[in-house]
A and B are shown apart, each in its own frame.
Chain A
């Protein structure tokens, strides 16, 4: 009887441990398309020295069509267009970033939690921490998010985006 009780206890203990481990590792997969919708709208960043960045994101299919510009004292300093779309194979969003007059850049964006995301060059998605360019983003609320630019592993700048519309 004593042996039976001990065996039962060990089995129950192992069962409980196994379930706990499973629930820790089997987190629900993030719905990247749904999380991307947080970006839809018009946003503004105060960059200092009378310079403001305006970023507009419109929904198109399951992607985003974006336009941004930096304006200083009523003068447009830079403007750019972006197109974000989902790539199933990588389970990430892929974007073309086109700053007027510059070469095209292909980025990847993916959420790592409901509020945090990473942006890097598409060619560096397998090792974003070793990329020469990485952005760590975080939605602080539905109306505010921050982006920290990381260059060669070091944070160099953080911008705060505030919803305008």
Chain B
């Protein structure tokens, strides 16, 4: 009877431990589309005296359209258009960016690693998106404040603080 009790106790203990470990490892999958919607609205970042980046994001179905203007003393220096959408195959957000001042298009892949942190890469070769030297990170400090960091070969090259201007 004593041996039966001990065996039962060990079995129950292992069962509890096993459940605990499972609960820790099977975290809920992040909803990339929903989290990306934090970007919707108008954001502004001061980059120099009298010069700012104004990002306007509007929804198009589940996708997002971006219009960016670099404004100095009320004058638009150049503008950028973006299209962002979900890529189910990779569970990531893919985007393209086109500037009226640059002859080339840029391709990005982004994914949320937590509810408020979005990481991404500049895709130099879509067949091998991991081959990149440019990485980015967007951290939503609050619904109205976000910090964007660009890294080149793992060194921070640009940091911008964006404040929401309009929801």
Contacts and interface: CB of A to CB of B under 8 A. Distances in A.
Interface string A76-120: 000001111111110001111011111110100000000000000
Query: Which of under 10, 10 to 19, 20 to 34, or 35 or more describes the interface residues of A?
Result: 20 to 34
B127 A123 contact: yes
B103 A83 contact: no
A58 to B, nearest CB: 10
A83 B63 CA distance: 13
B61 A63 contact: no
Contacts of A129: none
B83 A87 contact: no
B105 interface: yes
Given A61-B98, A65-B81, A106-B126, A94 B62 contact: no
Given A83-B98, A94-B105, A103 B86 contact: yes
A25 to B, nearest CB: 28
B152 interface: no
B60 A81 contact: yes
A103 B104 contact: no
Contacts of B94: 96, 104, 106
A86 B63 contact: no
A94 B103 contact: no
A96 B94 CA distance: 9
A88 B102 CA distance: 11
A159 interface: no
A103 to B, nearest CB: 5
Contacts of A122: 126
B87 interface: yes
A122 B87 CA distance: 14
Contacts of A61: 98-103
Contact of A104 (B63, B99, B100, B103): B63
Interface of A: 33, 60-63, 65, 81-89, 93-96, 98-104, 106, 122-123, 126
Q: Which 8 A-B pairs have the closest CB atoms?
A: A85-B105, A104-B85, A100-B61, A96-B96, A61-B100, A85-B98, A96-B83, A101-B61
Interface of B: 60-63, 65, 81-88, 94-96, 98-107, 124, 126-127
9 contacts: A60-B100, A62-B104, A83-B98, A86-B103, A86-B104, A98-B85, A100-B61, A104-B95, A123-B127
Given A85-B98, A103-B86, 19 more contacts: A60-B100, A62-B103, A63-B98, A65-B81, A81-B60, A81-B83, A83-B82, A83-B98, A83-B105, A84-B98, A85-B104, A86-B105, A89-B124, A96-B96, A98-B60, A98-B63, A101-B61, A104-B85, A106-B96
